[in-house]
Chains A and B, each alone.
Chain A
Amino acid sequence: GAVVSQHPSRVICKSGTSVKIECRSLDFQATTMFWYRQFPKQSLMLMATSNEGSKATYEQGVEKDKFLINHASLTLSTLTVTSAHPEDSSFYICSARVPGYNEKLFFGSGTQLSVL
């Protein structure tokens, strides 16, 4: 089946630094990827839709200058949390739509971000 690889799985950083999270589709080309955020014991909330070659579409309330998304190739989307603060600590998950499997989305394994 389709594989979505997400790195790193865990990152700890100091407040004020920036962190980049990568989401790769390993055996297919993903024109669209999605970034979710999950707080402890809560559901997944969509942050933004990443489209290859164009600007990302952010959900209401998500700061686009805070969460920079780049989808420069058909196999890679990155989420950069800029000037991270403790309240940005969360679990971030990417997912990708698999061409030919219109109703299926495959998820990465997630990244636990802890900002000290």
Chain B
Amino acid sequence: AQTVTQSQPEMSVQEAETVTLSCTYDTSESDYYLFWYKQPPSRQMILVIRQEAYKQQNATENRFSVNFQKAAKSFSLKISDSQLGDAAMYFCAYRRAHSEGAQKLVFGQGTRLTINP
């Protein structure tokens, strides 16, 4: 079974600074998707960024970028120019690309990010 591990329960960063959230995963699959979701206090799950495993290029979305290391099974999220609105729980998630149950997301434990003004 696939597992996703986030080893940082909490992180904090000064506003305008850069922070990196860590995520590792375990799978025997070669094709899959990885995601970072944000859950603010409203508890609405918001997709931040996604990465296809077959792509070597790291995904970027404005201030958010990932460092995808397939061999190491590592998928970290970098937030640049942190803003107060970035404060939230961040979940790393894995999804198989093919076969039955390919739509299911497996989530990590989450990292609570605090932005200090």
Contacts and interface: CB of A to CB of B under 8 A. Distances in A.
Contact of A109 (B43, B91, B95, B110): B43
Identify the interface centre among A34, A38, A44, A57: most chain B CB within 10 Å of its CB: A44
A76 interface: no
B45 interface: yes
Interface of B: 33, 42-45, 47, 50, 52, 91, 95, 101, 103-110
Given A34-B103, A43-B110, A46-B105, A107 B91 contact: no
Contacts of B106: 46
A107 B103 contact: no
Interface of B is mostly: loop
B21 to A, nearest CB: 14
A34 B104 CA distance: 8
Interface stretch (A17-25, A66-74, A78-86, A90-98): A90-98
Closest 6 interchain pairs by CB?
A107-B45, A43-B107, A44-B107, A110-B43, A43-B109, A103-B33
A32 B45 contact: no
Contacts of B110: 42-43
A46 B50 contact: no
Q: Is the interface of A mostly helix, strand, loop or mixed?
A: strand
Nearest to B46: A107
B44 A97 contact: no
A88 B103 CA distance: 25
A105 interface: yes
Contacts of A104: 47, 50
A44 B43 contact: no
A89 interface: no
B44 A43 contact: no
A43 to B, nearest CB: 5
